[in-house]
Amino acid sequence: FGSDQFDKALREYQNILENFPTIKDREVYRLRIGISHLKLKQYEAARREFGRILDNNLKTPLADQVLFHTANSFFLEGNPSQAIPIYQSLIDNYPKSSLVNEAKFNMADCYESTGEFDKALVIYQEIQSSYPNPKVIEWQIEKNKERKLEAEKRKSKMMADQKKFLESRKAFDQANPKVPPKGISDKVRKDVIRDIFENYH
């Protein structure tokens, strides 16, 4: 685990839990199994392991780590909107956790991924003085502003393109009016009904 050989670590931790189900540090081993799955991009399997820790003990001292890595699993899987409330739960319920700053940083990243740049900026500014490396936050704030500007440009271009398309479509429709399709005559309708009753009733 410490040398990043997560596939081997996974097998060994699983072996420990299978052979020693009541071992004292079983929750720590289960957490490491989950993290190993996470590192191997096995996100669903990771969440199953994290869930088992909380199922066994809701008051486990590992709860903040479980929430943090569970949120990470959704973010890394490409589901930032599912990660956000889990990061928020960690922040709200474990305000003294050493993971709070990282959770806020990752949550800001999630907001940027969903296009909510202003929310991300508020978080970056909030942790700027307490984050271990303030330079990283300064860089993120600058990138946030650049990404927001790029997103606004893309949105403006998309709306302009859509407007241009609708105008050209309207001009085409005016130049080529559609002839409404002729309805079925009453005689044909009566013949169809008569045929149904005569042959299938």
Query: Residue 190: what pLDDT?
Result: 72
The string of pLDDT tens digits covering residues 115-135 is 999 999 999 999 999 999 999
Report the C-alpha gap between 119 and 131 in whole angstroms: 18
Which pair of tokens denotes residue 151? 């997103």
Contact in structure between 82 and 49 (CB atoms under 8 Å): no
Report the C-alpha gap between 161 and 164 in whole angstroms: 5
Report the C-alpha gap between 121 and 141 in whole angstroms: 6
3 state DSSP class of 159: helix
The string of pLDDT tens digits covering residues 25-80 is 999 999 999 999 999 999 999 999 999 998 888 789 999 999 999 999 999 999 99
Report the C-alpha gap between 184 and 197 in whole angstroms: 19
DSSP label at 99? T
Does the predicted TM-score (pTM) go above 0.85? no
